[in-house]
Structure 1
Amino acid sequence: MFVRTQDSAPETDEEESPLALLSTPGGLGDLGAPGALRSRATPGRSTVDVRTLTRVLFERLTELPPGAPERERVRAALIEVNIPLVRYAATRFRSRNEPMEDIVQVGTIGLINAIDRFDPGRGVQFPTYALPTILGEIKRYFRDNVRTMHVPRRLQELWVQVSGAMEELTVTHGRTPKVPEIAANLRIPEEDVRACLDAGRAYNAASLEAAQEHEGGLALLDRLGYEDSALADVEHRDMVRHLLVQLPERERRILMLRFFANLTQSQISTELGMSQMHVSRLLSRILTRLRTGNSWEE
Structure 2
Amino acid sequence: MATSSPVTVSSRRSESRRLEQLLRAAHAARGRRRAELLDEAIVAGLPLARTLARRFRGRGVDNDDLEQVAVEHLIRAARNYRPTDDSDFRSYALPTIRGGIRHHFRDNAWAIRLPRRLQEIQARVNSVQTALAVDLGHWPTYAELAEATGVDVTELRAAEQARGCFQPTSLDAERASEGSWNLGGQLADPRNTYELVDQVHSLWPVINELPERDRLILRRRFVDHLTQAEIGAEIGISQMQVSRRLQTIMGRLQLALSA
- TM-score, normalising length from structure 1? 0.42
More helix by share: 2
The two structures have a TM-score, normalised by structure 2, of 0.47
Structure of greater Rg: 1
